[in-house]
Structure 1
């Protein structure tokens, strides 16, 4: 069977507030649950995207095996198999499960446990039937543990919109952030080294799916990257974490721009505008991080570090705001309208045909008619933006081009794109430096003249022109036949 659920994260105080002011008619059913998660010592199941757990409540035991599609943000879509047990020991007598585990069954050991008090409601909202589960507890792995507080909404019947309307009602009672981590992932993260910046990962795309499904899966991966780095930023003001927050937003905005022809309505445009606003809100803190890395004057460095604290506090307030929480729910609802667990009947163009056409359009903007040395800063900035979209599109759609020659050309293409982006980025830093310093009230301050002194514009222009020529000389990977 297929399970679809929407997850939100709450604080402990937020959970208490929700229990006190729950917008549900009936009182909850309360269960004490312990879930034991199994894997091999080498984490073979985790590497294949599988989850194996035994959940107990009272005298009842249920073994569950789940296979994730790897694309989920707040909305999770998974295949699962359940089997009642009489003890906390794995039973692998189902041929389908045995085949799924691929010989790992005899090597399974308990890795971590999840202990929760579950409050469960069955809710009727807008003629839809929704199961609501609020879990409060902890994840325990070896000698480490972490608190857990999340609410899952699962639509049993009715329109999907009711699920997200209920999520918004919950957020009005207590701040609720989009959840992107399963309980299984929380356990593995607790066993691993401390989590830092999370880089972009590929979406599970196939050439058989529609372009809209490819959009949804790719957008979900972008949202997941954003939320994981946003979570890390809440306990670590690490410059690389903030950079990856911005990368996730840039990738998501680029995806919306690339796929705008698929969605001709005002809601899509509104989401694009809100994502642009959020990306802009992250700019000042990132600019200060860049300047601190370059500052050599002690007084200037001290001034920048003080400003950095203020900028990060302002950003943290923005990220925790109702506007951002609402935006994440809105984006996830939009994504979920097109998300499937696998290939779906075609809605519009196929993913590969759409990708090839989009890449052609972006390639034309980047490859044709540029004389980098003679153009002005504004023209080079436009080229930089076009190049960024082209590179993101090449990364988004890479899983659709898996022939050997396509993969080989893709690696060369991405390397050439990275070289051009680096050179254009250096030129852009030099061009915007006066405005950046002015916006921070630093223009003319001692030491600022050294921040960009290493840049020789003539040399940067020469290198950018060479990088552009190298890119243009590459054969494109999406037209290899």
Structure 2
């Protein structure tokens, strides 16, 4: 780290009070509020994002947001007054000696991971949430528009397991600022996951007043964005708390005289995601010529966001929360396997293993929930003549107890360091995916063959089920067929946004297959649970007759379900009998 001081003449010092226009050049002073505005965070086309009530936030400079009952660090709220400028990559650093003396110079390497919803709700509302490492203010930063400036909510980074959990203070401030816009978003779509990583090489220069006090900081930033691959250079001048706002006016005027203008582009994040924002504003999705890794990671990030969004619901046993989280994990694990050639095998398999652990914790209460609903509904169909004893009461008590015990274990797992580490690993995987192989090639050149391979595996297992010699062997192979059919379904789902209607239609075909085969598998879970209830009834001196009657009936239902599942499977396989390049295309 070096410290530099630049001497200035008395005339230059006087010019801090009165800026002289260069001879023959008119420097127009911007209207009040326009210069001080954080130009670097405003979209180039405000109409693309809609109006924002910048005064809507109830937070103010100097506020402290308490961490709440769950602990954590209180958040500080600070007003941020800065302006961003465009600068060519090879341009000399402009001279501000007529406005400031120069203080210490620091070289910094910054890595900022920006989080948002899948549809970029925060960015569209001129809000940014990032976790930044490096520099003098590393931590969690939530930036909210407020009049002409921005309010920044800050907490430290934290360490150890759970470091990627968004601080509760930031979620509170975000929800309060966005208000109805946030409340209108379904819970399942509120998951905040990485949408961009910005790596910045920064030269930070302290800017001093005549007394030697630091009144501002000049940041010369060279930025690289991932996954967009964009790179640029920009300058930021940020005032220190208490500094005179007019200093930004003077800065803008002096830089304009040197040909350096305020940026008309969005914030760093907006610039990194400019193309995505434009396509989204036009109602367009990804393209099949986009990199294969990018297309697959969009699906991975979507499922990861669902898991994050459903965390509170899972803990509270909210309707569908456990089920949707379990399905998202299935999609994730399947995607990492089907498109495994695009990922570092060791990292992808390690993540799949830990996701499998959490899936099992989710599976126990979910299976108990499904079993309870199925048995209680089926008991309503038992003829009165075959109904012997307090059957439904016994079933509700036994199955309810199993569900409560399983859910308690799930909540315990959620509170464990292992779960926190899993969420950290998942978030980091999304932020910096370990892509390898042909991930950079066009999706249409790489992905169809991978989907075709998944279809071929399913067809192979289905044939083994047809050739099975015993009923039990056939049921086991049908279960394996179902798991592989799900992999095919999820592969079509992952590619459908870019490949269009054909992929979406085939995803729907395979959904029918998995649902039909699922009806067979569900009964494999229901029947043992029914026997458990029967045994409990017998132990209590109650009749087992009704349970036996229902078990026989469910055995017939299972055979019928198997007969209905096979034609759906055959139809889906016939539709897939095309060349790989034609499998996904319209």
- TM-score (structure 1 length as normaliser): 0.61
Summarize the alignment of residues 38-53 of structure 1 with structure 2, pairs less than 5 Å apart: none
Summarize the alignment of residues 299-378 of structure 1 with structure 2, pairs less than 5 Å apart: 299-338=394-433, 347-367=439-459, 370=463, 375=468, 376-378=474-476
Q: Which residue of 2 aligns with 1:15?
A: none
Note the alpha carbon deviations across 1:4-49, whole angstroms, 9 max, x for none: xxxxxxxxxxxxxxxxxxxxxxxxxxxxxxxxxxxxxxxxxxxxxx
Distance 1:265 1:291, change over 3 A: closer
Q: Using the alignment, how far apart are the partners of 2:156 and 2:536 within structure 1?
A: 47
**Does residue 401 of structure 1 match 2:465?**
no
Note the alpha carbon deviations across 1:70-101, whole angstroms, 9 max, x for none: xxxxxxxxxxx436xxxxxxxxxx8x324634
**Does residue 100 of structure 1 match 2:45?**
no
**Does residue 462 of structure 1 match 2:568?**
no
Q: Answer whether contact 2:303 2:328 (CA < 8 A) is retained.
A: yes
Distance 1:339 1:263, change over 3 A: closer
Distance 1:131 1:208, change over 3 A: closer
**Does residue 213 of structure 1 match 2:294?**
yes
Distance 1:99 1:480, change over 3 A: same
Distance 1:240 1:448, change over 3 A: farther
Q: Using the alignment, how far apart are the partners of 1:177 and 1:389 within structure 2?
A: 29
Q: Which residue of 1 aligns with 2:158?
A: 170
Summarize the alignment of residues 107-256 of structure 1 with structure 2, pairs less than 5 Å apart: 112-113=56-57, 115=59, 117=64, 118-119=75-76, 128-129=109-110, 152-155=130-133, 170-172=158-160, 176=163, 178-179=165-166, 187-188=178-179, 192=183, 195=186, 205-234=286-315, 236-256=316-336
Distance 1:412 1:130, change over 3 A: closer
Distance 1:232 1:313, change over 3 A: same
Q: Which residue of 1 aligns with 2:510?
A: 417
Q: Which residue of 2 aligns with 1:7?
A: none
Q: Using the alignment, how far apart are the partners of 1:292 and 1:111 within structure 2?
A: 51
Q: Answer whether contact 2:322 2:366 (CA < 8 A) is retained.
A: yes
- TM-score (structure 2 length as normaliser): 0.51
Root-mean-square deviation (CA, aligned residues, Å) is 4.3
Note the alpha carbon deviations across 1:382-406, whole angstroms, 9 max, x for none: 110110000001001112213xxxx
Q: CA deviation at 1:462?
A: 1.7
Q: Which residue of 2 aligns with 1:392?
A: 490
Q: Answer whether contact 2:175 2:182 (CA < 8 A) is retained.
A: no
Q: Answer whether contact 2:300 2:430 (CA < 8 A) is retained.
A: yes
Q: Using the alignment, how far apart are the partners of 2:300 and 2:54 within structure 1?
A: 34
User: Which runs of 5 or more structure 1 residues have no equivalent in the other structure?
Assistant: 1-55, 65-80, 84-93, 122-126, 134-149
Note the alpha carbon deviations across 1:143-186, whole angstroms, 9 max, x for none: xxxxxxx995224679x9xx9xxx998244x9556339976567
Q: CA deviation at 1:424?
A: 0.5
Q: CA deviation at 1:291?
A: 1.7
Q: Answer whether contact 1:197 1:232 (CA < 8 A) is retained.
A: no
SS in 2 for 1:179: coil
Q: Answer whether contact 1:373 1:465 (CA < 8 A) is retained.
A: no
SS in 2 for 1:315: helix
SS in 2 for 1:153: strand
Q: Answer whether contact 1:254 1:392 (CA < 8 A) is retained.
A: yes
Q: Which residue of 2 aligns with 1:282?
A: 362
Distance 1:120 1:255, change over 3 A: farther
Larger-gyration structure (1/2)? 2
Q: CA deviation at 1:223?
A: 0.8
Distance 1:131 1:338, change over 3 A: closer
Q: Which residue of 2 aligns with 1:444?
A: 535
User: How many residues matched?
Assistant: 350
Distance 1:111 1:434, change over 3 A: farther
Greater per-residue strand proportion: 1
SS in 1 for 2:299: helix
Q: Answer whether contact 1:233 1:242 (CA < 8 A) is retained.
A: yes
Distance 1:193 1:262, change over 3 A: closer
Q: Answer whether contact 2:489 2:507 (CA < 8 A) is retained.
A: yes
Distance 1:189 1:443, change over 3 A: farther
